Each structure stands twice: as structure tokens, then as C-alpha cells.
């Protein structure tokens, strides 16, 4: 296996590094998502909305103050700053939470783009070496020529494999970010409507 890897040429080491970084990011993000799912508490969010509907803001803030639910944290932050700029406070809290969900995704995105390009670079360098040998008329060294072609093919295959494998968790994690965004937006809109209700009655 190591010999097969080494046949890919020097470009294989950067490719190996990108694969290790991608794996580390994926593992960290999956652990983060699992922790967030475990800390979700829709009943707390429902209580905050119910208490807000009853105009009991102090109790609503106390209910969600120590919650680990990211939606509850967003709503509490908005309620705490409702007298200054409620909408801006909600947006700020939502952005802070979504940044936590998006952390590491730019790295994965870069690796998905970079890995095939590194593989292509290995292809080019391998072919250059092969044609260089042919240009030097070293036809008595077929192993060197085919080795250059093998280097080109192995590097390309490795780079594409990294990109394809990294694309699956990248799309999954992006879907989780969008899901979190929808949940925050739904709860925030509901809360905002509840706060506007007394003004309508007046």
C-alpha cells in the first residue's frame, strides 16, 4: 500500500495532508452536530413563546437563560435587548449561532476544490517526466516512462477520491446549517409576532 502511494510522486504528500485535514474537520463537525441535537429542547422554546404571549418577559428570559438549545439562546438574547433593537438583537444572536454551525465548512469547501487540482498537478508533472524521458530518447528505460504515467494516474485518482468523499459530509453539514437557520427564523418570527400583538390590540 505504501509503495502504491509513493508511486504517485511528491504531490501525494500534500494530498495526504488535505485528506487528514478533511477527516479531522468532518469528525469535529459530526461530534458538534450530535452534541447540538442532544442539547435541543423544543419544550423550552415553547415555554418561552408561551410566556411571551402572556407578557411575562422576565419569566421567559429566566426559562431559557441557562438552556443549551441554540434556538432558546437566540430568543432569550432578543428578549433581553427588546427595548433597544429587538430585530437587530435577534439577527446578531442568530448570526452567532449559525457561525458555530458553519465553522470548518470553508476548509472543507477549499479541500474539495484543491484536491482535484493537486491531483491534476501530479498528472501534469508525471506526464512531463514521461515525455521528458521520451524526448531524451531513453527508450531503454520503459519502467521510468510507465512510472511517470502511473504517477499521473494515481495522483489524479487520489485527488478526485478525496474531493468526492469530502463532498458528502460537506453537503450534509450545509443541510444542517440551513435546518438550524430555518428553526431560528421560524421561532424568531413567532416571537416577533407575539411582541407585536399587544401593540395591535391597543
Closest CA to 21 of 106, 125, 123: 106
Q: Residue 167 pLDDT more than 50?
A: yes
Q: What are the pLDDT digits (tens) for 106-159?
A: 999 999 999 999 988 888 877 777 666 665 555 555 555 565 676 678 888 889
Q: Whole-angstrom Cα distance, residue 133 to residue 195?
A: 77
Is the predicted pLDDT of residue 202 greater than 70, yes or no? no
138/131 Cα distance (integer angstroms): 10
pLDDT tens, residue by residue, 176-187 = 999 999 999 999
State the Cα–Cα distance between residues 131 and 110, nearest whole angstrom: 31
pLDDT at residue 200, as a whole number: 43
User: C-alpha cell of 74?
Assistant: 437566540
pTM: 0.81
- What's the pLDDT score for residue 12? 85
At 201 the pLDDT is 42
Q: What cell numbers appear for 70 in the block?
A: 441554540
**For residues 106 and 112, what is the distance between their CA atoms, to the nearest angstrom?**
10
Rounded to an integer, the average pLDDT of 149-177 is 89
Provide the pLDDT for residue 44: 93
pLDDT tens, position by position, 83-111? 778 888 899 999 999 999 999 999 999 99
Q: How long is the chain? A: 202
Task: Report the mean per-residue pLDDT for the chain.
Answer: 85
Radius of gyration for the chain, computed over Cα atoms and rounded to the nearest angstrom? 27
Amino acid at each position: 500500500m505504501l509503495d502504491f502511494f509513493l508511486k504517485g510522486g511528491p504531490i501525494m504528500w500534500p494530498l495526504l495532508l488535505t485528506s487528514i485535514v478533511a477527516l479531522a474537520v468532518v469528525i469535529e463537525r459530526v461530534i458538534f452536530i450530535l452534541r447540538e441535537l442532544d442539547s435541543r429542547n423544543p419544550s423550552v422554546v415553547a415555554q418561552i413563546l408561551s410566556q411571551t404571549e402572556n407578557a411575562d418577559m422576565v419569566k421567559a428570559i429566566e426559562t431559557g437563560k441557562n438552556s443549551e438549545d441554540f434556538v432558546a439562546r437566540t430568543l432569550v438574547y432578543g428578549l433581553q435587548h427588546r427595548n433597544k433593537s429587538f430585530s437587530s438583537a435577534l439577527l446578531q444572536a442568530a448570526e452567532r449561532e449559525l457561525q458555530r454551525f458553519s465553522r470548518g465548512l470553508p476548509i472543507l469547501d477549499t479541500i474539495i476544490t484543491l484536491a482535484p487540482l493537486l491531483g491534476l498537478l501530479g498528472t501534469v508533472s508525471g506526464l512531463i517526466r514521461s515525455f521528458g524521458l521520451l524526448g531524451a530518447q531513453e527508450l531503454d528505460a520503459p519502467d521510468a516512462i510507465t512510472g511517470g504515467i502511473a504517477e499521473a494516474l494515481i495522483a489524479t485518482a487520489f485527488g478526485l477520491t478525496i474531493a468526492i468523499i469530502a463532498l458528502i459530509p460537506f453537503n450534509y453539514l450545509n443541510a444542517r446549517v440551513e435546518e438550524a437557520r430555518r428553526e431560528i427564523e421560524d421561532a424568531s418570527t413567532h416571537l416577533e409576532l407575539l411582541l407585536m400583538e399587544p401593540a395591535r390590540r391597543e
